[in-house]
Amino acid sequence: MRVAVLDDYQNVALRLADWSAVRRHAEITVFNDHLADTAAVVARLRPFEVVCVMRDARRLRGRSCSSCRT
């Protein structure tokens, strides 16, 4: 399983929580930048089964999310 952590611009997600249980079952990838372009976000998330959103500013709409997995 692959987990994407989005918008961790302070690079703190993996330090502020215990991810050991997740790491036993998944590969975690942290993205420090913010992509505003919906198509770019969809392309970035396509390989992932799980998405963790760090910022309340990130809006994931059903149409965008359903485009990620094929």
pLDDT 10s digits, 56-70: 655 666 655 555 554
CATH of domain 2-68: 3.40.50.720
Parallel/antiparallel/unpaired status of strands 27-30 and 50-53? unpaired
- Find, among 57, 4, 1, 69, the residue nearest to 30 by Cα: 4
Q: Are 13 and 51 in contact (CB under 8 A)?
A: no
* pLDDT given for residue 27 in this prediction: 97
pLDDT 10s digits, 8-51: 889 999 999 999 999 999 999 999 988 888 899 889 999 999 99
Q: Can you give the pTM of this predicted structure? A: 0.78
* pLDDT given for residue 22 in this prediction: 95
Cα diameter, the chain? 32
Q: Which helix (H) or strand (E) holds 40?
A: helix 38-45
* pLDDT given for residue 1 in this prediction: 95
